[in-house]
Chain A
Amino acid sequence: MLTYVIRRVLISIPTIIFISIVVFGLQLLLPGDPALALAGEERDPQVIAELRRMYHLDEPIWRQYLIWIGKVLQGDLGESIRLKVSVGELVAAKLPVTIELAAMAMLIAILIGVPAGIVSAVRKETLIDYGANAIGLAGLSIPNFWLGIMMILLFSVHLGWLPASGFVRPSESLSQNLATLIMPAFVLGTGIAAIFMRHTRSAMLAVLRSDYVRTARAKGLREPRVVYRHALRNAIIPVVTLGAIQFGELMGGAVLTEQIFSIPGFGKLVVDAVFNRDYAVVQGVVLCTGTGFIFLNLCADLIYFLVNPRMRG
């Protein structure tokens, strides 16, 4: 067990190093002189010289990287040019909002996707199965930013049931917090629900054909018991690990969802940073999401290892 954990952690380290190289490399995409691009509208030679000194732009590229990664390892992700606040503080302030949104979206995705996948597999090649598959395919094809607009049109403009935008912290009012997040969380969760549905369906179909399920039926067990106690328990394992992999999808989707519903989270932070040419913030967000993804994958692998007796053996 310990050997597996150590090996798995060690494999993650080079990947994280490469993520940092990719993130650092983003600034090489800036057309022309990076100091001029970072200065934005400001063309004062003193400001440009200061930027050049601050970001060590006169040094060779590998030294620039070593200086940057050295600071990152000490928790210094740089400073926002626009807000004059450290990127680490900004990320720490915005992350809880996005985590709450992502957690609600994931809950909605599981509540819709897993039961739909089970029903679809159990009622294979019936109208229910075809309907669930069609809805699943539509869920993958509808862009969440359009779904968000359509939901605002229905639930806010026409029915007036939910606020069209804004965010209330749970500490201020839990009911208002839920009212502001339910629509964006649903929008964000539908695409992932479709993925869960497809995976649960195929995992259930494979398990329902297996020998031990046939044995359980032959023993005379009732069908719901066979499905829920025997089949689902095994079919759900790969779906659980899929949840961690969908983290990237959630973070990408959150960028657009937060923009549409004006939620002050991680996604809105990166979009605002892009338009203000606040490159340190953009790099900080990409680095944090990439590292977070690796960490969640690591957790998913370890959970898989713990819950799957065959791997422990």
Chain B
Amino acid sequence: MNAAVVDTEEPAFERRSAWRRLMRRRGAMVGLIVVVIFLVLAIFAPWIAPYDPIATNFLKVRKPPSIDHWMGTDEIGRDVMSRLIFGARASLQAGVISVLIAVALGVPLGLLSGYAKGWVDSLMMRIVDALLACPFLILAIAMAAFLGPSLTNAMIAIGLTTMPIFIRLVRGQVLAVTVEDYVEAARALGNPHLRIAVRHVLPNIVAPVLVQSTLTIAAAIIAESALSFLGLGQQPPAPSWGSMLNVARQFIGQAPWMSWWPGLAIVAVVLAFNLLGDGLRDALDPKES
């Protein structure tokens, strides 16, 4: 087998065996299925939702679950189930986009910090320490407050506050990888730093970044719901699970169903991402192979 074959076939083999290990984990598979169900609901919401999520009907104010409205109606007669299905869009979008922002900024900065070492690394680690010292949610609330309340700003705030986790993770991986023989060999052959970072270091940090991303999506979904619950995320009348809960809180005695479903949806999707993240961590762990 020549070197070229090893280069192309080994990662494919590793990917296949990691996938097989993931498939063997029942919890992770349940998580994956739930995530896919919510993704389908979010993407095809206009075709799946039985009613318009923002259409009010004052003849059907706060009606309990029935044949017509499986999850009941809210304080201005909107169908809770339709709002829940459309609300999946805001939650999943916030979870995925805020983590993409965190990864897009955190991975290059972590690479730079771990690869440059010296004062650049020291300076960046002090900044990361400072960002991690501020409680995640309080910093996200503060950022969302200064940026102004909207779903986009909530995603930016969550992305920026979760970014230091990725900087620290990637930096740690880079420090571990750069002392490996094959990186030393690449350096000795005169490869430029950027090439070594992209071709040799980056592929080794994909697995931990993927695991961390999955777990951070769960945290980001809770954070978006919390910001929307406080009125700093998705703005009415557009539905989001957090803002639905905020309204439901005021009618807890008269219409408890208004608070059941959005809460259960958050728990289900967050639990699914946590299960998937835990499963991915085990499946991608080299000790497991």
Contact = CB atoms under 8 A, between A and B. Distances in A.
Interface of A: 14-19, 21-23, 26-27, 29-31, 137-138, 140-143, 145-146, 149-150, 152-153, 157, 247-249, 251-253, 255-256, 259-260, 270-271, 273-275, 277, 279, 282-283, 285-286, 289-291, 293-294, 297
Given A149-B252, A252-B135, A141 B226 contact: no
A249 B225 CA distance: 16
A259 B229 CA distance: 10
Contacts, number: 139
A143 B225 contact: yes
Given A21-B130, A143-B222, A251 B267 contact: no
13 contacts: A19-B130, A23-B134, A137-B275, A137-B278, A143-B270, A146-B262, A149-B263, A153-B259, A256-B137, A282-B142, A286-B138, A289-B138, A293-B135
A122 to B, nearest CB: 22
Interface of B: 126-127, 129-131, 133-139, 141-148, 218, 222, 225-226, 229-232, 245, 248-249, 252-253, 256, 259, 262-263, 266-267, 270-271, 274-275, 278
B130 A252 contact: no
B60 to A, nearest CB: 22
Given A157-B253, A293-B133, A293-B135, 10 more contacts: A19-B134, A26-B146, A142-B267, A143-B266, A145-B245, A146-B245, A248-B134, A249-B135, A271-B230, A274-B145
Contacts of A143: 222, 225-226, 263, 266-267, 270
A289 B134 contact: yes
A275 B232 CA distance: 9
Contact of A22 (B130, B225, B229, B256): B130
B128 to A, nearest CB: 9
B232 A274 contact: yes
8 smallest A-B Cβ distances: which pairs? A252-B137, A18-B130, A146-B263, A248-B135, A141-B271, A29-B146, A274-B145, A252-B135
Given A18-B129, A153-B259, A141 B270 contact: yes
Contacts of B263: 143, 146, 149-150
A14 B146 contact: no
Nearest to B259: A149
Nearest to B271: A141
Contact of B139 (A18, A274, A286): A286
Contacts of A260: 249
Nearest to B127: A18
